[in-house]
Chain A
Amino acid sequence: MANLREVAVVGIGHTKFGNLDKTNIELFSEAAMDAINESNLKPKDIQALYFGNVLGTHEEGQLGMAAFAAADIGIPYIPTTRIEGICASATVAIREAFIWVASGFYDIVLAGGTEKATVMGTSYATRTFMMGSDSRYECPAGITFPGVFAMMTYLYSKKYGIPLDVLKDQMHAVPIKNHANGKLNPKAHLQSSIRDIMEKQKAKAKEKGKPVPTWNNEMDFLHDLSANMMVAEPLQLYDCCPFSDGAAALVIVPLEIAKKLTDKPVIIAGVGQCSAGPIHNQKDISRVISREFSAKQAYDMAGLTPQDIDVCELHDCFSIAEIVATEGLGFFDFGKGAEAVAKGETKIGGKIAINPSGGLKSKGHPIGATGASQAYEIAKQLRGECGPRQVEGAKVGMTDTLGGDLCTVANIIFKRGW
């Protein structure tokens, strides 16, 4: 590899995630200005923008959003590039920004993303998200993202000989953990534990004079098809992340400049990215090959191994997706990820903290912004600013973002620069 400069994140910004009454650009501008202000820079210092957004055309009828976003923060006359890597867009954008700064072409670059998915409603959003599958050879069958991960679940169950009912209970541990973490994240879309949600539904039934459900615990609640509807068998509602609105952004500069701007520069130690074809070409999707290649690039570049990672924000778009990701990133052996989450090994304070932010499941998944949101959380964790969800002593963190039906994965490894 060419001689690359060391590169660091000096400022970060993140809107509240949820069902929000702001435009894509308004959301991005809030996150971007927070990141720029935290960097002790001005918008005019920014030399280029790498901007993640997926469905702006369908949400607001907007193309060219990167240009308008730059104009909204007072820098219309810079090069702006919209990155579309489906749900991995923002991580791809951060990697692009990293490469241009590391190579010496730019010094100060803004990267991030925005999305406003809730405006589409479930039926239309499901149709537009489906555009991430092969439109010619798969969409005619009515495939959806939950459907792809449902097919992954059956393959996983059969391949590793884990009976479906056992696997499903292990999978339920994912939303229970991620909602418990997300409850501690003021930016989260669904800032409640599964138990909170369960108790709220009981109270609502009581208030309306309806029979009060007899759930004793979260597992009872998650087993109940009337509370946890089937979406794509065997995946139920709480196996799936929500459609969300929100934005996140970071300022990326060479480490030598970073040291002048902040006491706590977060170094980008390694990056990786890999594509894959449609799922029919990937065949056995219980392993995500694009992730294995991408993660290896990031580990090799950083000179680190999975054992070195203290905290990871990974792509839990579905419960099985988190399990498969913990294996593909090398934290657990293949076929052992489900057991690991059920045993609590991925909780804050466990063997490795996975998704302390609440993950896509609880924090929310505004697809064009998700990778930048993950990077935001890792930067906060390394800087020790996460309060009750802080992973004690976290020095090295990783993000993992997956696009479409496993056709794009990008990874970034961050470490303390102080």
Chain B
Amino acid sequence: MEYKLTYNKYTEALKEGKFLGLKCNQCGAYTVPPKKVCMECSSEDMEVVELSGKGKLQTFTVLRVPPEGFEAPYIVAMVETKEGPWVTGNLVGVDPDKATMNLMGREVKVGAKAVPGDKFSGGDMMALTFSLVG
């Protein structure tokens, strides 16, 4: 069966402001970032859906020593989406010098930004972004 939500389709949607995922028709679980089968029950019977973009920040770090191609400081975070899956991206709109553990548990809104590719990345990339809500 054809790959339902490819990296290309997923990132093209992010460029249009849509955060897509997969909903399993067998067990109801959501999968994002996309996979061939449902993350919970391994069924291929999934449909592409637009996710709420709501989530809760679970953990983060302020990167001070970046890899080639990135400029520090910046915040990387893991967010638990309202639909269940966790995703990794950049917390934006927060001064990295003022980031503390109080961020953990805060509500966020998921967005995306373009990231220029390098000679290893196979083209330009899209990173998820998280903005604090409230």
A residues with a Cβ closer than 8 A to B are 122-124, 126-127, 129-131, 134-144, 146-147, 150-152, 154-155, 157-158, 164, 229-235, 278-281, 283-285
Is B27's CB within 8 Å of the partner chain A? no
Closest B-chain residue to A58, C-beta based? B120
When each residue 69-81 of chain B gets 1 if its CB lies under 8 Å from chain A and 0 otherwise, what string results?
1100010111010
Whether B61 and A232, one on each chain, are in contact in the complex, defined by CB atoms closer than 8 angstroms, is: yes
Whether B67 and A123, one on each chain, are in contact in the complex, defined by CB atoms closer than 8 angstroms, is: yes
A141 contact from B7, B59, B69, B127, Cβ within 8 A: B127
Least Cβ distance of B76 to chain A in Å? Answer: 5
Closest A-chain residue to B130, C-beta based? A141
User: Could you say which residues of chain B place their CB within 8 Å of the CB of A164?
Assistant: 101
User: Could you say which residues of chain B place their CB within 8 Å of the CB of A285?
Assistant: 59
Given the known inter-chain contacts A137-B33, A279-B78, A280-B33, please indicate yes or no for A144 contacting B65, CB distance below 8 A: yes
User: Could you say which residues of chain B place their CB within 8 Å of the CB of A123?
Assistant: 66-68
**Which of A135, A139, A235, A280 neighbours the largest number of chain B CB atoms within 10 Å of its CB?**
A280
**Which of B64, B90, B115, B125 neighbours the largest number of chain A CB atoms within 10 Å of its CB?**
B64
Given the known inter-chain contacts A131-B120, A151-B76, please indicate yes or no for A142 contacting B39, CB distance below 8 A: no
When each residue 88-109 of chain B gets 1 if its CB lies under 8 Å from chain A and 0 otherwise, what string results?
1110000000010100100000
Closest B-chain residue to A164, C-beta based? B101
Is B132's CB within 8 Å of the partner chain A? no
Q: Kindly state the separation between the CA atoms of A140 and B64 in the bound complex, as whole angstroms.
A: 16
Is B13's CB within 8 Å of the partner chain A? no
Closest B-chain residue to A124, C-beta based? B68
Chain B interface size range: 35 or more
User: Could you say which residues of chain B place their CB within 8 Å of the CB of A232?
Assistant: 61-65
Least Cβ distance of B123 to chain A in Å? Answer: 11
User: Could you say which residues of chain B place their CB within 8 Å of the CB of A146?
Assistant: 61, 63, 65
Closest B-chain residue to A232, C-beta based? B61
B residues with a Cβ closer than 8 A to A are 7, 33, 39, 58-70, 74, 76-78, 80, 85-90, 99, 101, 104, 115, 118, 120-121, 125-128
User: Could you say which residues of chain A place their CB within 8 Å of the CB of B64?
Assistant: 229-233
User: Could you say which residues of chain B place their CB within 8 Å of the CB of A142?
Assistant: 63, 66-67, 70, 74, 76, 90, 115, 127
Given the known inter-chain contacts A126-B65, A232-B62, A233-B62, please indicate yes or no for A138 contacting B88, CB distance below 8 A: yes
Q: Kindly state the separation between the CA atoms of A283 and B126 in the bound complex, as whole angstroms.
A: 21
Query: What's the dominant secondary structure at chain A's contact region?
Result: helix
Whether B88 and A137, one on each chain, are in contact in the complex, defined by CB atoms closer than 8 angstroms, is: yes
Closest A-chain residue to B33, C-beta based? A137
Whether A281 and B39, one on each chain, are in contact in the complex, defined by CB atoms closer than 8 angstroms, is: yes
Whether A139 and B121, one on each chain, are in contact in the complex, defined by CB atoms closer than 8 angstroms, is: yes
Q: Kindly state the separation between the CA atoms of A122 and B99 in the bound complex, as whole angstroms.
A: 25
User: Could you say which residues of chain A place their CB within 8 Å of the CB of B77?
Assistant: 151
Whether B65 and A231, one on each chain, are in contact in the complex, defined by CB atoms closer than 8 angstroms, is: yes
Least Cβ distance of B94 to chain A in Å? Answer: 13
Q: Kindly state the separation between the CA atoms of A378 and B88 in the bound complex, as whole angstroms.
A: 37
Given the known inter-chain contacts A151-B60, A154-B104, please indicate yes or no for A135 contacting B68, CB distance below 8 A: no
Q: Kindly state the separation between the CA atoms of A147 and B90 in the bound complex, as whole angstroms.
A: 12
Q: Kindly state the separation between the CA atoms of A126 and B118 in the bound complex, as whole angstroms.
A: 14
Q: Kindly state the separation between the CA atoms of A229 and B58 in the bound complex, as whole angstroms.
A: 25
Q: Kindly state the separation between the CA atoms of A229 and B63 in the bound complex, as whole angstroms.
A: 12
Closest A-chain residue to B127, C-beta based? A140
Q: Kindly state the separation between the CA atoms of A355 and B129 in the bound complex, as whole angstroms.
A: 39
Least Cβ distance of B9 to chain A in Å? Answer: 12
Q: Kindly state the separation between the CA atoms of A164 and B58 in the bound complex, as whole angstroms.
A: 16
A139 contact from B85, B86, B125, Cβ within 8 A: B125
Least Cβ distance of A32 to chain B in Å? Answer: 31
6 contacts between A and B (CB under 8 A): A139-B125, A142-B63, A143-B76, A154-B104, A281-B85, A283-B58
Given the known inter-chain contacts A142-B76, A143-B76, A279-B78, please indicate yes or no for A158 contacting B63, CB distance below 8 A: no
Given the known inter-chain contacts A127-B69, A154-B61, please indicate yes or no for A280 contacting B87, CB distance below 8 A: yes
User: Could you say which residues of chain A place their CB within 8 Å of the CB of B99?
Assistant: 233
Q: Kindly state the separation between the CA atoms of A233 and B64 in the bound complex, as whole angstroms.
A: 8
Whether A141 and B58, one on each chain, are in contact in the complex, defined by CB atoms closer than 8 angstroms, is: no
